[in-house]
Structure formats: C-alpha cells, structure tokens
A = this chain, B = another copy of it.
Amino acid sequence: MRHDRVTISDIAREAGVDKSTVSLVLNRKPLASRIRRDTRQRVFAIARKLNYHPSLVAKSLFTGKTMTLGLVVGGIETPFFAELTNTALEAADERGYHMLVSATRWDFERERNAIRLLLQRQADGIICTVGGLCPQGEHHELYTSITKQHYPMVLWDYQSDGLSSVCSDYSVGMDEAVKLLAGKGHVRIGYCFHGIQWNGKEKSFLSVCGRHNIEAVKYLQEDNPHGISKIVRKIIKPGHPKAFLVFDDSSAMEMIASLKDVGRSVPGDFDIIGIDDIAWGTSYRPRLTTIRQDLKQLTNSAVDLLVEMIGNPEWEPKNISV
C-alpha cells in the first residue's frame, strides 16, 4: 500500500466535470459564480470526501511563486539564533510564507551550497545571516552576484552598497555600556572577539571607546568550547582589564561561569556586560547586564523588506537600520 495523492482530476472524474471546473470552484474564482450551485457543492463535497490537498508544487510551477522564503543561518544551537529563527518563522507565517531553514555550521562552502539549493527550490527570496558574522571576504562576492541577478535577498547585519540589508544599531547600547563601566572607574575595557561575530559590533565599540577616552583591549576568542575559559585564565593574571564587554550573551554567561570557577566574583572582581538580551538570560544569576538588541524588530524588518522586494520586481537595494 502506498500513499496515493488525490489530484484535481480525481475529483473531476468523480464529479463528472472537467478539471478546470474543479479548479475554478475550489479557488472561488469569479468565473465560478457562473457554475451551477449544485455542481459547486458536489465538487466541494467530493474534494472533502477524498481528502484532497491541492499540490502547491504544481501551482508553483504555473504561477512562478513558491511562497517560500529561505533562511540561511550558521546554526540555531545558540540562543541568539534560536530566537532569530523563531521570530523569522512566525513573521513568515503571518505573511503567508513558509520558511526553508538551512544551517551552514558557519562554513562558507555549506553556505554557498545552501543558497544554491534555495535557488533551485525556487524560494521567492532569501534571508542570509551568515555574512554579517564572518570576516571572510568570500561572502561578499557571493551576495553581489546573486543581487546582480536581481534575486531578492536580504543580508543580516552586513551592510554594503548595492545589497539589501537590515543592520543593528549598537551605538546607543554600546555607549550606555561603556558609560556604565567608565562610571565604575574602569579606564580599560577588554572585549572578546571571535571570528563569527564582527561587522557592526567591533567597529561600533571601538568608536565609542574612543569617544569616552577608554582603552579597548582585544582578546581573541578561539572558536571552540574552551575559547572563553582560556581567556579567563589569562585575564585573572595581573595587568589585564577588570571590565569586559562580551559580544554575545551566551559567551557572557560562559565568562561569568568561568570566572566563578576560578574563584572570582561578578560583579566585584570583574564587571561583565553582554550583548543581545536573549530571552533566557533572565534565569541567569547574577542577573546579566546586557545591551539590548531588538532582535524581534530586526527580524521582522528583514522579513518585511524581503517580502516587499518580492512584491515589487523593480526593487532597489535598500538598507534598514534598527
């Protein structure tokens, strides 16, 4: 036994009409008003009886729209991307789209492949979050070539002329954070930097530090589970800043945990501030100090922009900053 698809022709046969009639009726097209009431009812009844599900594949082929968006993320195992994805999912849903999610594990070849597949699947547009978090230049070329073909694509936190993107404006939050730390007497602030977090954050942080006459000390964070604890082992020695800004909340939590493990207190010995304001930061103690990033707002803007581009084939690249 197999799962047999019920098609529009099955209904037509059973109802003794042409499949075009069925199509008109089921889609409540204007022309369907001319069709006899009892024919209409018969069609509906049979469709329901046979448990008919119209094939969006066939429909898409004809209409050229799949009502599908692609979401390319590095992965959703971290709170930040989980929230992002969740919001994007709901946003797409509200606008009548489905979301095809691809996790690239931050690997460029995987990303290129994911995008290629989304194009093959005729996704109406793509939201790509990876480039905004990776310093590698390879991304740029990929995005440009796709946009050149006038295919709707919105980049996350990756601003560049000729590309559509939504960007987070960290400057206000950074400013507050730095002022807060400066107010506690810190003149040097360390920050943890790792490959997959970059673009806006570092630039913004450095300029804010400059403005407040604070020395920013960079710590390279290895891209593995021990990245943070290695940094911690280093900074508990003399000569390092006692205030840190960590570029995402999960790492901030790890840093606090790590500091506690080696007998330091937060706050007290160290002051740590994170960025993102993820939802379950709330069950962390001590309460996480964090720079609020309006993830929901940003994600919604991304989906809105993409849908807008899809709706208007004459779209021009556009930049949205939240």
Residues of A within 8 A of B (CB): 1-3, 5, 51, 53-58, 60-61, 64, 66, 68, 75-79, 81-83, 85-86, 89-90, 93, 98-103, 105, 116-117, 119-122, 149-152, 225, 250, 253-254, 256-258, 260-261, 279-280, 282-285, 313-314
Contacts and interface: CB of A to CB of B under 8 A. Distances in A.
Contacts of A313: 1-3
A158 to B, nearest CB: 20
Nearest to A66: B57
A79 B82 contact: yes
7 contacts: A57-B66, A58-B61, A78-B280, A85-B101, A90-B103, A100-B100, A256-B283
A215 to B, nearest CB: 28
A57 B85 CA distance: 25
A53 to B, nearest CB: 4
B98 A100 contact: yes
A151 B3 contact: yes
A51 to B, nearest CB: 7
B279 A257 contact: no
B66 A77 contact: no
B314 A285 contact: no
Nearest to A83: B77
Contacts of A79: 79, 82, 280
B116 A53 contact: yes
A98 B117 contact: yes
Contact of A102 (B68, B75, B89): B89
Given A89-B102, A100-B98, A283 B253 contact: yes
Given A53-B119, A76-B89, A101 B101 contact: yes
B85 A279 contact: no
Contacts of A121: 56-57, 98
Contacts of A83: 77
B150 A1 contact: yes
A64 B3 CA distance: 11
Ranked nearest first, the 3 interchain pairs of A and B with the lowest CB-CB distance are A82-B82, A2-B313, A254-B283
Contacts of A77: 82-83, 86, 279
A78 B2 CA distance: 37
A285 B93 CA distance: 37
A253 B284 contact: yes
B101 A89 contact: yes
A128 B260 CA distance: 40
A50 to B, nearest CB: 10
